[in-house]
């Protein structure tokens, strides 16, 4: 009677436990990863003033752009938003444009002449009634905000002015993208370290699998001997017991899938396109395999390794949330 167990759906035998090799070291060598957080700024001289542009970005699941000008200009806002969208795929981006100098400080004195006339007429009536000869205090009238106020004049943007603004926006966006790349490289180093630790724990599990297989074989033989000793030999019952025990302890499939996910993680990190969502999905799949390994394995050593792997994957998950 052939007591070796074979999963007819996957085609993986119990002996596959002996063939789980040490995991290949993953070397993530990519400089294309971008963070979703960053800051960029620029200053452009325009006549007697300076155009100041600041750009900020934070992590967000989808793309969102908000343009804030010192004065409403829909066509210019649309042009700025298009420039942002051409460089950034994911994240929330804010662009602030302000003017320092004469262009942004144009003011005009507004006087409510009708109300001033009423104030003066009322003053003379009161002075006549009270027989008071005090003079009218013009300074006090000028300080009355209901009579005199300073109004900011809106500027009409010329094509030249808009061109200068867009040049400054391009500079600020380039500064922003550079910082996002630098932040991405820093994230990549941390992620590389954590994935390497996961690989190390996988290697350690692979090293103890042969010993665990021997223990499982001994337990299996003991159960078979018990059946034989009871003189209730039922071939179908024996095969069922073999299948149940082997399936319960067989983690080779999970180990292989985990290794495949790590390798796929590595391949995604070589891409120059946004990969944040894909990496997030892979981390979920890795966690699923690690959890299954922990639930199947009865060995305390493997369970401890699983706890360590879950800790490292949790750190990667947090860092991946900030990748474009």
Q: How far apart, in Å, are the Cα atoms of 30 and each of 189, 246, 266? A: 10, 41, 9
Residue 10 has pLDDT above 50, yes or no: no
- Residue 97 sits in a domain whose CATH number is 3.30.230.10
What's the CA gap between 112 and 298, in Å, rounded? Answer: 88
Same domain, 45 and 169: yes
Give the residue, 84 or 9, on which the prediction is more confident. 84
Residue 318 has pLDDT above 60, yes or no: yes
Q: 199: phi > 0 → left, psi -120 to 50 → alpha, else beta; which?
A: alpha
What's the CA gap between 315 and 286, in Å, rounded? Answer: 13
Average pLDDT, the chain: 81
Residue 31 lies in a domain: no
- Alpha carbons within 13 angstroms on the beta-carbon side of residue 2 total 5
Q: Do residues 296 and 288 lie in contact, with contact meaning Cβ atoms separated by under 8 Å? A: no
Which pLDDT does position 239 carry in this prediction? 64
Q: How sure is the predictor about 147, in pLDDT bands with cuts at 50, 70 and 90?
A: confident
Q: Give the mean pLDDT of 250-268.
A: 89
Same domain, 201 and 300: yes
Model confidence pLDDT, tens digit, residues 43-60: 999 988 899 999 999 999
Residue 107 has pLDDT above 80, yes or no: no
- Name the DSSP letter for residue 90: S
Give 219-222 contacts, CB < 8 A, sequence gap 24+. 219/245, 220/3, 220/245, 220/246
Same domain, 222 and 140: no
Residue 38 has pLDDT above 90, yes or no: yes
Show the tokens assigned to 155. 């500027």
Model confidence pLDDT, tens digit, residues 150-206: 665 555 678 899 999 999 999 999 999 999 999 998 999 899 899 999 999 998 988
Which pLDDT does position 281 carry in this prediction? 94
Same domain, 291 and 247: yes
Range of the domain at 272: 14-25+182-320
Which pLDDT does position 181 carry in this prediction? 92
Which three-class secondary structure string do you get for 135-177?
A: CCCHHHHHCCCCCEEEEECCCCCCHHHHHHHHHHHHHHHHHHH
Q: Give the mean pLDDT of 288-306.
A: 88
Number of domains composing the chain: 3
φ and ψ at 157, to 5 degrees?
-75, 125
What's the CA gap between 149 and 159, in Å, rounded? Answer: 31
């Amino acid at each position: 009677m052939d007591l070796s167990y074979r999963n007819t759906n996957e085609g993986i035998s119990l002996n596959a436990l002996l063939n789980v090799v040490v995991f290949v070291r993953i070397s993530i060598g990519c400089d294309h990863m971008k963070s979703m957080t960053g800051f960029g700024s620029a200053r452009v001289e325009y006549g007697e003033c300076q155009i100041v542009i600041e750009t900020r970005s934070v992590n967000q699941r989808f793309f969102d752009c908000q343009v804030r000008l010192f004065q409403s200009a829909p066509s210019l806002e649309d042009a700025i938003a298009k420039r942002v969208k051409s460089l950034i795929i994911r994240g929330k981006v804010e662009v602030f444009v302000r003017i320092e100098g004469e262009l942004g400080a144009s003011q005009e004195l507004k006087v409510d002449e009708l109300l001033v006339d009423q104030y003066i007429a009322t003053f003379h009536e009161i002075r006549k009634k009270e027989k008071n000869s005090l003079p009218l205090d013009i300074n006090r009238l000028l300080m009355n905000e209901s009579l005199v106020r300073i109004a900011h004049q809106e500027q009409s943007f010329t094509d030249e002015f808009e061109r200068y603004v867009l040049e400054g926006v391009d500079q600020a966006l380039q500064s922003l993208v550079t910082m996002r790349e630098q932040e991405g490289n820093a994230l990549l180093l941390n992620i590389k370290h954590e994935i390497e630790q996961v690989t190390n724990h996988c290697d350690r599990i692979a090293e103890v699998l042969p010993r665990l297989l021997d223990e499982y074989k001994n337990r299996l033989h003991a159960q078979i001997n018990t059946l034989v000793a009871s003189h209730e030999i039922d071939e179908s019952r024996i095969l069922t017991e073999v299948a149940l025990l082997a399936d319960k302890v067989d983690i080779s499939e999970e180990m292989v899938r985990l290794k495949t996910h790590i390798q796929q993680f590595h391949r995604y990190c070589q891409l120059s396109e946004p990969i944040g969502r894909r990496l997030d999905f892979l981390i979920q799949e890795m966690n699923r395999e690690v959890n299954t390994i922990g639930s199947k394995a009865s060995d305390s050593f493997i369970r401890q390794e699983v706890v360590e792997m879950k800790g490292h994957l949790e750190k990667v998950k947090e860092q991946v949330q900030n990748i474009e």
